[in-house]
Amino acid sequence: MPSAADVLALEAVAYELWLAQEVEELDGWRLRFAHGFTGRANSVWPNADGRLELAGKIERVEAWYRERGVPPMFQLTAAARPGGLDAALAARGYVLRGEPVSVQTAPLRGIAARATGDAEVSETLDDTWVELWTGSRGFDRVDVARALLQAGRSAFARVREVAVGRGVAVDRWLGITSMTTLPEARRCGHGRAILGALARWGRAQGCTRALLQVEHGNVPAERLYASAGFVASHDYHYRLLR
């Protein structure tokens, strides 16, 4: 198992993949808000120590999110601070939201070597890409999606109008997000083609390793990423106050 320091180092990279439109620092925590689109961009990143008393600090988090009309939510890993935060939130009535998510890494060279199929890559985000991705998630705020997707040094891969994926270069890391294939076009190798195209783009940016997140239980995605060379580093989960 990775140490808390190793988890924190990867989470610092992953933080850059979903840069929320609004972020407020609170005693070592980061409160993120992006109108409810994606869990990471709408949850607390609680990965640094602080000096405030915990219960009062959580109350300030809850007030901040209430002002924005969304329930407070925490994204929790082994790096969360203080220790015991997960249990404290559970005791306060926070419930688990969704399945745990596996954070996985792989060498870019191996992904490119295993790639098959062709996908286009552009550093410009076009309407077709956005509409396919937001449509798969039932989210109609295209302006919010664009702001999130274009934050950072990003590239957008696509196979015609049926599959998309996004890459973000963060130092030597390539973050891979937003992998989506329309149901009628699955099991045709489009995901593998997109991974390969993004890996080649990432290597051109000086990246050497890739990072992605996949929800436990998403068996087709887990199989795809394992076949591309990804291995698990750690998990995270969300706690939500309804």
Question: Which pLDDT does position 114 carry in this prediction?
Answer: 87
- Give tens-digit pLDDT for 6-28: 999 999 999 999 999 999 999 99
Question: Which pLDDT does position 4 carry in this prediction?
Answer: 92
The reported pTM is: 0.94
Given a contact cutoff of 8 angstroms between Cβ atoms, the answer to whether 101 and 38 are in contact is no
- Whole-number average pLDDT of the chain: 95
Q: What does each C-alpha distance from 150 to 19, 101, 142, 153, 167 come to in angstroms?
A: 9, 23, 12, 8, 10
Rounded CA-CA distance 179/196 in Å is 12
What angle is formed at CA 234 by the lines to CA 108 and CA 208, rounded to 5 degrees? 15
Question: Which pLDDT does position 141 carry in this prediction?
Answer: 87
- Give tens-digit pLDDT for 185-201: 999 999 999 999 999 99
Q: Name every residue whose Cβ is closer than 8 Å to that of residue 135 and which is 6 or more positions away in sequence.
A: none
Mean per-residue pLDDT, 37-54? 95
